[in-house]
Amino acid sequence: ASVSESLGNIRPWLQKVTTQAKTTDSKYFTTTRKGEIFELKAELNSERKDKRKEAVKKVIASMTVGKDVSTLFPDVVNCMQADNLELKKLVYLYLMNYAKTQPDKAIMAVNTFVRDCEDPNPLIRALAVRTIGCIRVDEITAYLCDPLRKCLKDEDPYVRKTAAVCVAKLHDIDPLLVEEQGFLDALKELLADSNPMVVANAVAAITEISDSAQTDTAADMLCWSGQLINKLLTALNECTEWGQVFILDAVANYTPTENNEAQNMIERVSPRLAHANAAVVLSAVKVIMKLLEMLDPNSDFVLSTIKKLSAPLVTLLSSEPEIQYVALRNINLIVQKRPDILKQELKVFFVKYNDPIYVKLEKLDILIRLTSAANIANVLAELKEYATEVDVDFVRKAVRAIGRCAIKVESAAERCVSTLLDLIQTKVNYVVQEAIVVIKDIFRKYPNKYESVIGTLCENLDTLDEPEARASMIWIIGEYAERIDNADELLESFLEGFADEQTAVQLQLLTSVVKLFLKRPTDTQELVQQALSLATQEADNPDLRDRGYIYWRLLSTDPAAAKQVVLAEKPLISEETDLLEPNLLDELICHIGSLASVYHKPPAAFVDGRGGGQVAKATKGLPSRLAAEAGGAAAAAAGAGGGDFGAGTGAPGRPAVSVIPTQESLIGDLLDIDMSGGATAAAAMAAASASTNQQPVDLLGEGLDSLLGGPAPSATSPVPPSGASAAAGGSGADSLADIFGGLGGGVGGGLGGGGGFDPPMETWLPAQKGKGLQIEGRFLRRGPQLSMELRLRNNAMQQLNGFAVQFNKNSFGLAPAQPLAMNPLAPQQSVTTLLPLNTKGPVQKMDPLLTLQVAVKNNIDIFYFACLIPMYALFTEEGDMDKRVFLSTWKDIPPENETQFNLGSYAHDADTASTMLRSFNVFTIAKRSVESTDMLYQCVKLTNGILVLAELKIVPQTNAYTLSLKSRHVEIYPGVHEAYLAVLKG
């Protein structure tokens, strides 16, 4: 019977299944299912072949709609021996789904698999090896090795290409097995296979394995060499489109050692730009973008290559909308990195009426990035058109874009403002609000130029219901209070609803009222009083209250100073907004075409790796120009960490980026220093070693001086900490001082907090055992001094005296620093005493590690007890270290030492947590925010010198804390984990 015929019979049945799946009446659902399963069982065991096949198909259909048909496992496996290929495929499909739940029964299938791997038909051999790799059952995996080895050397390319992928599957199940069995070598041999598809699949498998390689040997082995890359580029011509993508993605991971090599690679990759497959094109763009970094930006070759890139990118915009979307997200990155590529192509980013909304929004973003004085007229006309569309988000973005145009192109500012005023006249609520927000920014860019429009803005006060728009309007009123006659009335009307406003609006309102008062003190005294009392007495928000008090004190002590502070001239806002942080941009350029480039997030932010260990390893950076080629050797060395550093230290031909880095991003920069390429690593290591010898503050001072003082660091002088100094290049001294001021402040605060919390006393020796002596105690750390606090209570009927204490050998060599000083203890009396400890005692590893055996002697007897030293008591004050040292230490520790703990969730945010931990000598070395997830990099030094590096990940919405620990001594992890828990629980 033909397949289509038999499928016809299934159809009504499948429909029944799907409609059943929809109902939520589970009772009904189970009862019918029971009958059905029974029926299927009978059919699977039927004598007739066609009936069995039919039944397997039904089983697969049930499986698809989510029914549990695992109970039929033995019956389905029975059908496996069939010589019908189609049936075999279905049975295999079933096996892949259910083998995991029935491992012992899955064994039954092993023989068939092994036999199929030797079948004369290559299609069946391949099918078997393809399936067996998907069955994640340990017992079966063991049987897989021999057939797989044979298949890797099979005479048929179809089998070999399937086996290549199977190695990757096996590696995912058991990486060590793959290494032990030498499959990595076999895979590498396949790279030289005569068949292009085998090569492509081997490349894909190797790329995947090296991304998750467990040991360094494996990683080293799979490292691409120049020779190998050369071979792959040759194979590129003969591969399928998908194979070309695999190869190009692998090539993108390779950094050539010479300029000629880079140039050669670009030449060989660029024909791919004409491929019909968008993935091939984007991957080729990725390779080229990365290699271009290495070459002299002014050379003819680079210029002509850049020219070549634009047409293919534009062409991507005539593909399907989803592919357009991916392309646009990538173009957004490319335009930020190399604005020249597409500057002539403005028009292709004009929005079409029928574009899906996601394409529209992205096009708009790019349109603004490409705007310049030359094309502003066209852009403005377009934006005006967009502002009348229907989609609210799109319209808002268009309005905002008009504001950005005004800020970017000064000559057009006036036209932009008048366009915005036209839009305000439309009275469409969200358009008005958005326009007011951007007009505020325009005021900040061009003060005292467009204030004539304030009147129009004030007409729309009543319609503003969004906090951002209200805050903007209030800011405008405060800033220009002297020109608005009824500014006091306006602010007063806002003040009436003060309590209902959002914090941003409240803060703005407070500031604006103070500004008004300073400008018109005579008639606004009452208003300012009212605002200050609202902020300081009624409000719960600490920020608001603090700001209120600051103003209050300022105004009451020295109004002249207040004027200087509050009405001081402000710096202008920068032209380019919404730029990605340069280091992130560089990383994303290395991920063009991939999901990271779509999300504009580093892969670590959304891929579940093995915790923080991947931070250093997985982060990709752009290669830098080779030192010999660059203009100044010193500049290149300092800039080696990433393309952008070069900009800061004045590499020729590239404008400095004037984005003010935030504290987080700066520290992010420090941690992200990429170690790709020999020169880079050397520079970073030099910086790291330099910093270990000096106080960090000094270092920064030096770096700063050398930057600001004008003369570029000479080649012979020690390399300044490139991350900090270069990032500061654009922003100047103030921001740097701020940043480190902020950091220092945080640390200082932590120190001030001192002892933090003290653990409760534990009963170590109950009175029954101590013949009337009860001992409670705890471990305390006051500054550098570790001590044991003991509370002794005399429950006996006689006086106790002659106290002495002794510790057994313990893991950390704790010993009393002085004898126990105790007066005689009268009956029913209790005394608390502090016993200072040192760590000079004899060391013996205990089990559990933190056990401390104590002997206490008095006039009655000697008593023994054991207590657990809390790990945090052993954290010393020397835990702080420089960021680069941290980074290199982190890398030095083998990745398998890393362990992750889930700490549960806590209410505190990252800064509070950091402060809390600081009081226990857990030093936060750096903080980084990756897409709203806070990462704290922390270090702890134990009394015996063991370093523990930690990465604390805090997801703000859920407040889930994840801790990754890295140390050479894994035994201490449980203790550190406990300590974290104890501290965080407070």
Partner 1 sequence: MIGGLFVYNHKGEVLISRVYRDDIGRNAVDAFRVNVIHARQQVRSPVNMIARTSFFHVKRSNIWLCAVSKKNLNAALVFQFLYKMLEVMGSYFGKINEENIKNNFVLIYELLDELLDYGYPQNTDTGVLKTFITQQGVKSQTKEETTKITNQVTGQIAWRREGIKYRRNELFLDVVESVNLLMSPQGQVLSAHVSGRVLMKSYLSGMPECKFGINDKVIVESRRAADSSSAAGATKSGHIAIDDCQFHQCVKLSKFDTEHAISFIPPDGEFELMRYRNTKDISLPFRVIPLVREIGRTKMEVKVVVKSNFKAVTKVEVRIPTPLNTSGVQVICMKGKARYKASDNAIVWKIKRMGGMKEWQLSAEIDLLNATDKAKKWTRPPISMNFEVPFAASGFKVRYLKVFESKLNYSDHDVIKWVRYIGKSGLYETRC
* Dist CA 583 CA 81 (whole Å): 57
- Residues 412-419: contacts with CB under 8 Å, at least 24 apart: 412/373, 412/376, 412/377, 412/380, 413/442, 413/445, 413/446, 413/449, 413/450, 414/450, 415/376, 415/380, 416/380, 416/442, 417/442, 417/450, 417/453, 419/380, 419/383, 419/384
- Residue with smaller CB distance to partner 1, 315 or 425: 315
* Torsion on CA atoms 312, 313, 314, 315, rounded to nearest 10: 50
Q: Is position 312 an interface residue for partner 1 (rule: CB under 8 A)?
A: yes
* Shortest spacing between CB 234 and partner 1, in angstroms: 10
Q: Indicate the residue among 168 and 913 with the shorter CB distance to partner 1.
A: 168
Q: Work out how close the CB of 610 gets to partner 1 at its nearest, in angstroms, rounded to a whole number.
A: 13
The answer to the question of residue 11 lying near partner 1 (CB under 8 A) is yes
Positions 965 through 984 that interact with partner 1 (CB under 8 A) = none
Angle formed by the axes of helices 910-918 and 973-985, nearest 10°: 110
Could you tell me which residues come within 8 angstroms of residue 549 by beta carbon, excluding any fewer than 6 positions away? Answer: 536
Distance of closest approach, residue 374 Cβ to partner 1, in angstroms = 17
In the bound complex, what is the minimum distance in angstroms from residue 933's beta carbon to partner 1?
Answer: 11
Q: Which of 74, 182, 321, 678 binds partner 1 (CB under 8 A)?
A: 321
Report how far apart the first and last C-alpha atoms of the chain are (Å, whole number). 73
The footprint of partner 1 on residues 323-362 (CB under 8 A) is: 323, 325-327, 347-348, 350, 352-354, 357-358
By beta-carbon proximity to partner 1, the closer residue of 93 and 788 is: 93
DSSP state of 570: P
Q: Provide, rounded to whole angstroms, the least separation between the CB of residue 379 and partner 1.
A: 11
Q: What mask, x for binding partner 1 by CB under 8 A, covers residues 206 to 245?
A: --x----------------------------xx-xxx--x
Closer residue to partner 1 (CB): 311 or 499: 311
Residue with Cβ nearer partner 1 (315 or 694): 315
Rounded CA-CA distance 614/212 in Å is 9
Minimum gap (Å) between residue 148 Cβ and partner 1 = 14
- Separation CA 584–CA 930 (nearest Å): 10
- Residue type for 336, please? Q
Structure tokens at 219: 């990683």
Site for partner 1 in 474-533 (CB under 8 A): none
Please name the residues in contact with 6: beta carbons below 8 A apart, sequence gap of 6 or more.
50, 53, 54, 57
Q: What is the DSSP letter of 871?
A: G
Which of 43, 776 has the CB closer to partner 1? Answer: 43
Strands 830-838 and 947-955: unpaired
Ranges within 57-76 binding partner 1 (CB under 8 A): 57, 60-61, 64-66
Q: Which of 528, 578, 576, 567 is nearest to 447 (CA)?
A: 567
Pick left, alpha or beta for residue 119 (phi over 0 → left; psi -120 to 50 → alpha; otherwise beta): beta
Contact between 454 and 421 under an 8 Å Cβ cutoff? The reply is: no
Q: What is the largest CA-CA distance in the chain?
A: 104
Selected range binding partner 1 among 18-26, 479-487, 571-579, 801-809, rule: CB under 8 A: 18-26
Number of neighbours of residue 849 by Cβ within 10 angstroms:
18
Question: Beta strand pairing status for 899-905 and 762-765?
Answer: unpaired
Segment 710 to 749, residues that bind partner 1, using CB under 8 A: none
Kindly tell me which of 276 and 568 has the beta carbon lying closer to partner 1: 276
User: What is the token pair recorded at 165?
Assistant: 């992928």
Tokens of 480: 């220009």
Q: Taking Cα atoms as reference points, which of 862, 864, 840 lies closest to residue 852?
A: 864
792 in Cβ contact with 799 (< 8 Å): no
Beta carbons within 8 Å of 121's beta carbon, 6+ residues apart: 85
Q: Site residues for partner 1, window 125-184 (CB under 8 A)?
A: 126-127, 130, 133-134, 136, 156-159, 161-162, 165-166, 168-169, 172
Q: Which of 176, 192, 274, 970 binds partner 1 (CB under 8 A)?
A: 274
Site for partner 1 in 76-115 (CB under 8 A): 84-86, 89-90, 93, 97
Contacts with 550 (C-beta within 8 Å, 6 or more apart), sequence order? none
Q: Is the dihedral of CA 631, 632, 634, 638 positive or negative?
A: negative
The reply on whether position 246 binds partner 1 by CB under 8 A is yes
Footprint (CB under 8 A) of partner 1, residues 537-576 = none
Beta carbon nearer to partner 1, 137 or 963: 137
Single residue of 22, 34, 48, 570 touching partner 1 by CB under 8 A: 22
Tokens 């007229």 found at:
377
- Residue 905 touching partner 1 (CB under 8 A): no
Q: Which of residues 247-266 bind partner 1 (CB under 8 A)?
A: 249
CB of 710 to partner 1, least distance (A): 43
Q: Which amino acid is at 931?
A: E
Q: Where are the alpha helices (DSSP H) in 276-391?
A: 278-292, 300-316, 321-337, 357-370, 376-386
Cβ–Cβ under 8 Å, residues 580 and 333: yes
Is 267 or 482 the residue whose CB approaches partner 1 more closely?
267
Q: Which amino acid is at 828?
A: Q
* Minimum CB–partner distance for residue 609 and partner 1 (Å): 10
Q: Please report where in the chains the tokens 């270290």 appear, as a residue.
A: 881
8 Å CB contact between 764 and 835: no
Q: Which CB atom, from 262 or from 281, has the smaller least distance to partner 1? A: 281
Q: In the complex with partner 1, which residue's Cβ is closer, 135 or 917?
A: 135
Write down the least CB distance from residue 236 to partner 1, Å: 9
Query: How many residues in the shown chain lie near partner 1 by CB under 8 A?
Result: 114
Output 162 or 336, the one with its CB closest to partner 1.
Answer: 162
The token pair that represents 14 in the structure block: 């499948």
Q: How far is the CB of 506 from partner 1 (least distance, A)?
A: 30
Could you tell me the smallest distance in angstroms from the CB atom of residue 806 to partner 1? 54
404 binds partner 1 (CB under 8 A): no
In whole angstroms, what is the distance from residue 10 CA to residue 47 CA? 20
Residue with tokens 């015929």: 5
Least separation in angstroms between residue 239's CB and partner 1 is 9
- Among positions 580-619, residues that touch partner 1 (CB under 8 A) are 591, 593-599, 603, 606-608
CB of 373 to partner 1, least distance (A): 20
Q: Cite the beta strand spans of 686-826 per DSSP E.
A: 762-765, 773-782, 785-794, 804-807, 815-816
Q: Per rule CB under 8 A, is residue 25 in the interface with partner 1?
A: no
Name the segment binding partner 1 (CB under 8 A); options: 312-320, 502-510, 572-580, 809-817. 312-320
Scan residues 371-390 and list those touching partner 1 (CB under 8 A): 378, 381-382, 385, 388-390
Q: Which is nearer to partner 1, 127 or 704 (CB)?
A: 127
Q: Compute the least distance from the CB of residue 122 to partner 1, in Å.
A: 5
- Residue count of the chain, please give it: 986
Nearer to partner 1, 21 or 685 (CB): 21
Where does this chain touch partner 1 (CB under 8 A) — which range of 14-22, 178-186, 501-509, 892-900? 14-22
Q: By CB under 8 A, name the one of 70, 81, 82, 122 that touches partner 1.
A: 122
Instruction: Write down the least CB distance from residue 220 to partner 1, Å.
Output: 23
Residue of the chain from 76, 137, 198, 983 that contacts partner 1 (CB under 8 A): 198
Nearer to partner 1, 85 or 715 (CB): 85
**Among 278-286, 638-646, 836-844, 969-977, which window interacts with partner 1 (CB under 8 A)?**
278-286
Min dist CB 662 to partner 1, Å, is 24
The one among 190, 279, 432, 651 contacting partner 1 by CB under 8 A = 279
Closest CA to 867 of 879, 855, 882: 855
